[in-house]
Amino acid sequence: MVAEADRDSQYERFTTAADAVADRLEQRATQANGAASEVLTATAGLVRDRGWRKTVKKNINSGHPAEYAVVAATTKFISMFEAAGGVMAERTTDLRDIRDRTIAELRGEPEPGLPAVTEPVVLLADDLSPADTAALDTDLFIALVTELGGPTSHTAIIARQLNVPCIVAVGESMNSVEDGTKVLVDGSLGTIVTNPDADDATAQVAAWKDMAERVAQWQGPATTADGHRVQLLANVQDGKAARTAAGTQAEGIGLFRTEMCFLNSSDEPSVDEQAKVYSKVFEAFPESKVVVRSLDAGSDKPVAFASMADEMNPALGVRGLRVARGNEGLLHRQLDAIAKAAKDCGRGDNAPTWVMAPMVATAREAKWFSGLCAERGLTAGAMIEVPAAALMADKIMPHLDFVSIGTNDLTQYTMAADRLSPQLAYLTDPWQPAVLRLIDHTCRIGEKTGTAVGVCGEAAADPLLACVLTGLGVNSLSAASTAIAGVGAQLAEVTFDDCKQAANAALDAPGAVAAREAVRALLLNA
């Protein structure tokens, strides 16, 4: 036990170490771009989090040394994040990372991180922190394979930005691969071949490099080889991300996640405060379409002033539009702020402001939300992420100007599988034909009602799956801005008829793996 007289010095040791870790992460963030910079900044924010530090201090005041206090505090927060599920559960990797970095700093040891290598290697790991992924030397680490994680984890997103083949959640099978084994990693198929045929491997790598060159040269706008137009948009969470997206081929914003601006707010921001935040996104695309998602609080995005407390199953609880049932004023004020920001930025017909509600499940909800938007001169839409909304699209769409399919949640709800569970990654694959059939149904209804149908989930970032979605009738695709060129370049390689054939093949497949393989065989030979 630490004597009471020594506890202040123990806490000072901790704060000095934690500040050093946060400073290094923030310095790395200034040297990185896009998602990597955002993740490093967010990780530094965890180190500076007052709640985490307060818990460490409480542990020290109970007589524990700084090292033990850090481990105990982090364990508490990991349990809380795992219980919340979704994106919060995903952040447990970040928590373990800041714990290990702080402990190393306290002990005067080297900062944990990537192994030292001198020649190109494929990195196999239990998991990889976003901070380490962002710092990868892509000339040496040419592919990543992790036992844990998920397709929407920060590690996977950053790897895509770096254009590094990455396969996550492969399970314990990777432990049988010994150091020094030659492997062929196909990130698009999610396959690892040990000791591959040399000629075949050389041909596949050459084809990948050729496609990478075409991606680097692609300028947009996106069309298929025979001129079918597809609008490519960016997913953002704040003004900084929007400015980054504006430097890419993105034609606008297809998903502005407004709740991400307020995760650390204990009180609801005023209309004026919200409008200032929204204006920063609008200013990045002053003459382009911007799709704003109303507050998607709850479940994996707990917003202090909007989320329900202690739900038994938050992923199926009061989240998204459902929050407004018990606090309608919250939604009214947000829509007022969006309308104010659009007016202040001088947005008009040439730069439409579209607003969509998350977690819409019924026609009544769609009609109600549409009416609120109409009162403020906003274009109304809804997320299709609840299977019921897809199945009832014929009743929902007449009330709306557009819908956007959130494939991440639609997949997990359709397959009854947590999308961040490594054990269930084979189910939470957007290539699942069951999910594609719901998207197909939604697009067919959209054609009948004249309702624009977009996709804003991670599926839109997969070049081959983007072709399938185009063949199903999706009008726009919105993804991380770093993925846009890859999608556009792939669409330019195929015709619209190729996309339709690929869509039919995927719909008819018995499972996700078969769907992906069938489409790959069709399109890469098109």
> So which residues are the catalytic ones?
154, 456
Long-range contacts of 119-128 (CB under 8 A, 24+ apart): 122/183, 122/185, 124/174, 124/177, 127/93, 127/155, 128/93, 128/155
Largest CA distance in the chain: 77
Contact between residue 454 and residue 476 where contact means Cβ atoms under 8 Å apart = yes
Q: CA 113, CA 185: separation in Å to the nearest integer?
A: 22
Q: Which residues, including other chains, have CB under 8 Å from residue 183's CB and lie 6 or more apart?
A: 122, 143, 177, 192, 193, 194, 195, 196
Cis peptide leading into 120, omega within 30 of 0?
Answer: no
452-455 and 402-405 beta bridge pairing: parallel
Q: CA 286, CA 283: separation in Å to the nearest integer?
A: 5
Name beta bridge partners: 24. Answer: none
Name the CA radius of gyration of the chain, rounded: 23
Which amino acid is present at 328?
E
Q: Which residues, including other chains, have CB under 8 Å from residue 455's CB and lie 6 or more apart?
A: 404, 405, 407, 439, 469, 474, 476, 477, 478
Minimal CA–CA distance to 459: which of 485, 436, 426, 482? 436
Angstrom CA distances, 206 to 62, 201, 252, stand at 60, 9, 33
Contact between residue 347 and residue 282 where contact means Cβ atoms under 8 Å apart = yes
Minimal CA–CA distance to 301: which of 277, 290, 317, 278? 317
